[in-house]
Structure 1
Amino acid sequence: MSLLSIGRSGLLAAQVGLATTGNNITNAGVAGYNRQVAIQGDTPTLDQGFGYVGTGTEVTSVRRYYDNFLATQLRNAQSNQASLDVYSKQISQIDNLLADPTAGLSPALQDFFNGVQDATSNPASDASRQAMISSAQSLAGRLQGLSARLGEISDGVNGQITDNVTAINSYARQLAELNHTIAGLASDNKAPNDLLDQRDQVLTELNKLVKTQVLPGENNQLTVTFGTGQPLVLGDKAFQLGTSSASNEPGRVTVGYMNNPGGFSELPDSVITGGQLGGLLEFRNGPMDHAQNALGQVAAALAVSFNAQHVLGQDKNGDAGTPFFGPINAFVGANSKNSPVSSANVTAVVTDAAALTASDYSVDYDGTNFNVTRKSDGKVTQINPFPQTEPQVIDGVSYSITGTPVTKDNFLVRPTFEAAAQFKVLVSDPKKVALATPVATAAPTANAGNAKITPGTVDASYLTPGNALTAPLTLSFDQASGTLSGFPADKDVTVTVNGTATVYPAGTPVPYTDGAAISFGGISFNISGTPADLDTFTVGPNVSGVGDSRNGALLAGLQSKNIMNNGSATYQVSYAQMVNYVGAKASEAQIGGIAADAAVAQATNSQQSVSGVNLDEEAANLLRYQQAYQASGKVMQVASQLFDTLLSLGN
């Protein structure tokens, strides 16, 4: 090959080098751009007899500097960062809502019990009773407001889930199209670098929405999956995701595959991790559900326990107390996949504040029995018998199941999910506030001994038909036998001394013990001291209870009583535990977000050290290629002069 051709090949190679370097410089700020470099190789040498002489150079390829390991590491870090970022933003809303010292639940609870205490101190005052009702209505409004705000946050999450799925589908289609185009352009020695960069950038944006796994395929195509291998892009085919209402909870959006024509296959939330979508689902299934259920648990426990004590009281009219707050009905969602011929129906009502949990439950029919599974720990309780003869109470919730079920029937039961929204005050008349106790005791002044009887109290069994007193009872002490008589002839009497209870059959004399607790038919009292022979004590209906506030004191005492979580927490403590849980999760998310930011920065630096454009390096390359271009031009100039000299010699 002539010297002219050698210079020409060098000139062309330098041009490609200059063009590649210039392209790097102009795209340095383009997201997803990977540095390129022109790779040169020498052309075949020729044997000239005395040795081999080179024939010039050629550009063998324009290489894209790309490290798949570093790119994958960066995508994963960005996916985790996006997940924590959206999680942190969502949970901060709940944290600020619940922990607010003025707008949270704690101030409203305190104000309510202050109202109860004030009414208890002034039972004859209708104004104090009305103030108690007003504070109860304020508490109900606060609970309903908190529930509504949590519902708004939940609706916002549903909307974001839908938006994320739409964006994922868009990116999946772009990837499929790019796979198709790249497969048509790629060859062994040539690769469409710009299209590869575009595809990698789409993958990066996709991973900010959901964490994916990427596998290489034929013809430079990629297979993209998520979760536990669920396909998203296979070659030039994109799978379409969609959203729909949960099968057993209409207000909850779930993600799944869209099947033609118009079908939908729901995916478990657990398979969707990372990215904004994964963060949203993790937030919804964790702090969001916990906050709604735990707030409802406080509301339900307060309503049920306060009602249980209020109905044991007597109002200002002398009537028995009625429920102060409305009933708490559990949310029950029948699975949309249940057999259309099934007529099974499940209802659930909260009845026991102490046994109530913040867990959700799954009720399933196995063909013979209904099984209630507590989702928090998987504990299974069987409905027995079925068909039921009466409602069955499980974890403080009374289940009633009717109709004819079909095998695999399923129901979701959320006992406390809607409790805060349902919380309402039923009593509006101040005179209907039951502050008094329906029984009264007395020791006549004519008694010769010094024995005294305490004011009586009643428990839930007093409400059993036949137990309520309609006329006074007179208990008489017989000194010779040391016994009390006059108890109802149809009721056993229980005497408790130092924690040891002894039951005496109905109609038998009851031995007197100083200070012993005596109870029958739901009525309890103590007699202490030394009675004289034939001393009497009366126990009867409370006929002048306008100024009585014994039941009011018991209502006020509920504030400091360990009622919730099997008798281990008060209302305020349980609420504080929920606030602490949310606060701890918010703090974890913030700390995790800082760590994720650092991981992304580190992964970016590692990736850019290989694929990023260094302007100083590119400027040096420009000078190098410029000099090579000029040198190659000089070679061609010399070759031309030599050729002209040869021509002149011939003349």
Structure 2
Amino acid sequence: MSGSLLAIGKTGLYAAQAALATTSHNIANANVAGFSRQTVVQATSAALDTGVGFLGTGTEIAQIKRYSDNFLNAQVRNAQASTSGLESYYGQIKQIDNLLADTTSGLSPAMQGFFKGVQDMAANRASVPSRQAMLSSAETLATRLQDLDSRLGEIRTGVNGEIEASVTAINTYGTQIAKLNEQISNFASSATRPPNDLLDQRDQVVLELNKFVKASVTPGDNSSLTISIGNGQPLVVGNDSFQLAAMVSPTDLTRMEVGYQVGSKVAVLPDGALSGGKLGGLLEFRTETLDTAQSALGKIAIGMAFEFNAQHELGLDQNGNKGQPFFNVAPAFVGASINNAKGTSTDPAAELSAKVTDPSKLKDSDYEVTFKGGKYSVMRLSDNKEVGPVTPGANGAATLEADGIEFTFEKNPREKDTFLVRPTIDGAANFKVLANNVSQIAAAAPIMTSMELTNTGTAKISEGKVSKDFLTAPPALPVTLEFNGGNLTGFPAGSTVTMTDSAGKPITFDPAASYVDGATYSFNGVSITLSGKPKNGDQFKIQGNSSGVGDTRNIAALGELQTKNIFNNGTATLTSSYAQMVSQVGNKTREVQVNAQAGNALLAQATGAQADVSGVNLDEEAANLIKYQQAYQASSKVMQIAGTIFDTLLSISR
């Protein structure tokens, strides 16, 4: 009898001792990240059949249970991936928001200062001081655009560095998970004896992984976990881990891409393939905001340079010479060719260049050009639409104009030669003033008009304007128009004359009755307006301007570019385009900020729900210590009683 009591007391003692150890383990690890509360699960030992009934033999430890809920763990992981991605995005985009919206270092003050210089020059009859002030304000504008682009370039460099660091962290976590899988598989010989602490460590590493990229978790064989990222690319399978690789883009040396490594080969993953986590946020920021902002800034620079040059070339400089390009217009960025069939080619057979020819038609998109089936296919990446195939000639030469961009192909292409074209991303970086002397500013118009002193009517002729056609097919000057019997004669032979009324509405030109009061006449790039009532024999002369001194008609036209609708099919000015860019970045910044705050709240809620199940409550554990201490003492008392009984039996026998 005493032997049974001793055995029963011993089982209770061992169970209480294990419970005390487990409770102490909980208390010691209460502040360890990822630790899950554990408890001892006891079961009744097999009873002894005495013939008159079953006699209990004590207790046994059935399991050291770990409180962990897979559903709640998955919620925390998903919330962590989303929140980390949004915080990463916000940390980057707020830099651009602050940069563009700054009232002193933004583009708006420099642009307003430049056009003020242009307008002051027109008001001061193009004096030398006003010319110098205008040239200085142009240099200030160029510097501001370059500085803004340089700052965006610094942000891009920072993103590249963080992408590399994130890839390294992801690879490290993948290796750790694979090692933990192996250890857990070695220990997990029974479902009732899982290695709880190793499971906690693995769950915590998986959670840390989700801070860098969203990872999908699937139970594998022998208590292992299979981890996949992106579009299902496996990162960990059993005891094996796979690697990501950070690599410089073959088409853009300023861009760091993420590749998936299999053996010695690396396949570049699209930016949208990896979502969530710090890496996903960085890639999303670069694609949606950084590339867009830098291209939008470049678009403004190119549109400014293009339109200003077009008008400047219609004028005369201080020496009476035709105006030259005032600003540099940056060519489109064209990445090195990639041949999908033969790998990257450093000396591709095909060559491609591109430039903006009409800013109003730009579509705010990059383009992918591929040679396939004997044709060049130009794909607009913003909507994945083909804007026009073109078949090259025998020597591979071809030209295609689409979306305000001219694509020029040279040399013989190979099948699947592929190019990336970014029309405006380098526009601000390469924006510079080409004029280096105040005398090169073409302030004057190339024509001047006059009326004969012998005219007897009241008709007057405007100062006259010229368009780009004047540069390609100018009329032989001087041109003398004469009014006779309701008709104007003297237009250059063979020229096409168009008319508009005072409201700008087209009028059909009738050679037999061509004079209309207030009408504008255009021919060979020259436009003049006649108003009033002429009399027979009245003459109006259009002749070349022999000197640009004191004439500010062209500089006045240049000043009007500030309010000219240049972009979006003639619906947006330079100022409104920049304002739209700032607004888009600002709205996106606020959107990401609000979503990040909401994500943090959801993460806190999910973490709290997980802690309710897995977290250690010190008050509860303190109570358990007392309970298990009493159980230990009680079991000891049982053993003491068994010893007393045994001693009593021995004394009787003596």
Which interval holds the TM-score relative to the shorter structure?
A: over 0.9
Tell me the residue number matched to 1:433: 441
For 1:68-87, what aligned pairs fall within 5 Å after superposition?
A: 68-87=70-89
CA spacing shift, 1:390–1:477, aligned 2, 3 Å: farther
One-letter identity of the residue aligned with 2:172: S
Deviations 1:609-648 (A, max 9, x none): 1100000110111011000000000001111111111111
Q: Could you tell me how far apart the structure 2 residues matched to 1:383 and 1:107 are?
A: 42
Tell me the residue number matched to 2:252: 249
TM-superposed deviation, 1:357: 3.0
CA spacing shift, 1:277–1:625, aligned 2, 3 Å: same
1:326–1:426 CA contact under 8 A, matched in 2:
yes
For 1:197-276, what aligned pairs fall within 5 Å after superposition?
A: 197-261=200-264, 263-276=265-278
Deviations 1:90-136 (A, max 9, x none): 00000000000000000000000001001111234111111111101
Counterpart among 466, 474, 485 of residue 467 in structure 1: 474
2:301–2:431 CA contact under 8 A, matched in 1:
yes
CA spacing shift, 1:361–1:179, aligned 2, 3 Å: same
| 1:567 alignment partner, SS class | coil
Q: Could you tell me how far apart the structure 2 residues matched to 1:457 and 1:566 are?
A: 23
Tell me the residue number matched to 2:290: 288
Q: Check if 1:491 corresponds to 2:495.
A: yes
Q: Could you tell me how far apart the structure 2 residues matched to 1:421 and 1:93 are?
A: 19
1:485–1:510 CA contact under 8 A, matched in 2:
no
Tell me the residue number matched to 2:369: 363
Tell me the residue number matched to 2:458: 450
TM-score, normalised by the number of residues in structure 1: 0.96
TM-superposed deviation, 1:337: 3.1
| 1:30 alignment partner, SS class | coil
Greater Cα shift, 409-418 or 117-126: 117-126
Quote the sequence identity (%).
51
1:301–1:356 CA contact under 8 A, matched in 2:
no
Q: Could you tell me how far apart the structure 2 residues matched to 1:438 and 1:510 are?
A: 29
2:388–2:402 CA contact under 8 A, matched in 1:
no
One-letter identity of the residue aligned with 1:401: F
1:391–1:400 CA contact under 8 A, matched in 2:
yes
Counterpart among 530, 534, 537 of residue 534 in structure 1: 537
Deviations 1:469-509 (A, max 9, x none): 4x312111112xx21111212322222336124356xxx66
For 1:153-232, what aligned pairs fall within 5 Å after superposition?
A: 153-188=155-190, 189-232=192-235
TM-superposed deviation, 1:342: 5.0
Q: Could you tell me how far apart the structure 1 residues matched to 2:371 and 2:450 are?
A: 56
For 1:597-636, what aligned pairs fall within 5 Å after superposition?
A: 597-636=600-639
Tell me the residue number matched to 2:421: 413
Counterpart among 578, 582, 586 of residue 585 in structure 2: 582
Q: Could you tell me how far apart the structure 2 residues matched to 1:371 and 1:385 are?
A: 9
Greater Cα shift, 101-110 or 557-566: 557-566
TM-score, normalised by the number of residues in structure 2: 0.96
Tell me the residue number matched to 1:139: 141
TM-superposed deviation, 1:545: 3.4
Q: Could you tell me how far apart the structure 2 residues matched to 1:319 and 1:509 are?
A: 38
CA spacing shift, 1:216–1:384, aligned 2, 3 Å: closer
Instruction: Return 5+ residue gaps in structure 1 as ranges.
Output: none
TM-superposed deviation, 1:162: 0.4
One-letter identity of the residue aligned with 1:343: A
CA spacing shift, 1:548–1:315, aligned 2, 3 Å: same
- How many residues align? The count is 643
For 1:280-359, what aligned pairs fall within 5 Å after superposition?
A: 280-337=282-339, 339=342, 340=345, 342-359=348-365
Q: Could you tell me how far apart the structure 2 residues matched to 1:106 and 1:422 are?
A: 19
1:484–1:512 CA contact under 8 A, matched in 2:
yes
Q: Could you tell me how far apart the structure 1 residues matched to 2:331 and 2:651 are?
A: 111
Counterpart among 540, 556, 560 of residue 559 in structure 2: 556
Q: Check if 1:102 corresponds to 2:116.
A: no
Q: Could you tell me how far apart the structure 2 residues matched to 1:543 and 1:383 are?
A: 48
Tell me the residue number matched to 1:478: 484
Q: Could you tell me how far apart the structure 2 residues matched to 1:37 and 1:25 are?
A: 12
Q: Could you tell me how far apart the structure 2 residues matched to 1:13 and 1:191 are?
A: 18
Q: Could you tell me how far apart the structure 2 residues matched to 1:468 and 1:533 are?
A: 25
Counterpart among 22, 29, 39 of residue 37 in structure 1: 39
Tell me the residue number matched to 1:518: 521
Q: Could you tell me how far apart the structure 1 residues matched to 2:82 and 2:391 are?
A: 49
| 1:511 alignment partner, SS class | coil
2:376–2:391 CA contact under 8 A, matched in 1:
no
One-letter identity of the residue aligned with 2:100: L
CA spacing shift, 1:571–1:514, aligned 2, 3 Å: same
One-letter identity of the residue aligned with 1:425: V
Greater Cα shift, 304-313 or 389-398: 389-398
One-letter identity of the residue aligned with 1:323: P
Tell me the residue number matched to 2:381: 375
Q: Could you tell me how far apart the structure 1 residues matched to 2:288 and 2:84 are?
A: 17
One-letter identity of the residue aligned with 2:149: S
- CA RMSD in angstroms, aligned pairs only: 1.5
Counterpart among 642, 648, 651 of residue 648 in structure 1: 651
Deviations 1:350-381 (A, max 9, x none): 12121123211111212222122211122312
Greater Cα shift, 239-248 or 65-74: 239-248
1:123–1:435 CA contact under 8 A, matched in 2:
no
TM-superposed deviation, 1:528: 1.2
One-letter identity of the residue aligned with 2:184: I
One-letter identity of the residue aligned with 1:488: P
CA spacing shift, 1:293–1:355, aligned 2, 3 Å: same
Deviations 1:150-199 (A, max 9, x none): 00000100100000000111111111111111101112221111111111
1:485–1:509 CA contact under 8 A, matched in 2:
no
Tell me the residue number matched to 1:55: 57
2:316–2:323 CA contact under 8 A, matched in 1:
yes
Q: Could you tell me how far apart the structure 1 residues matched to 2:193 and 2:449 are?
A: 102
Deviations 1:24-59 (A, max 9, x none): 001000001000001111101112222111000011
Q: Check if 1:5 corresponds to 2:7.
A: yes
Q: Could you tell me how far apart the structure 1 residues matched to 2:126 and 2:178 are?
A: 79
Q: Could you tell me how far apart the structure 2 residues matched to 1:130 and 1:446 are?
A: 42
Q: Could you tell me how far apart the structure 1 residues matched to 2:384 and 2:443 are?
A: 42
2:449–2:464 CA contact under 8 A, matched in 1:
yes
| 1:106 alignment partner, SS class | helix
| 1:2 alignment partner, SS class | helix
Q: Could you tell me how far apart the structure 2 residues matched to 1:118 and 1:379 are?
A: 46
Deviations 1:576-629 (A, max 9, x none): 111111111110111011111111111111001110000011011101100000
Instruction: Return 5+ residue gaps in structure 2 as ranges.
Output: none
TM-superposed deviation, 1:510: 6.3
| 1:334 alignment partner, SS class | coil
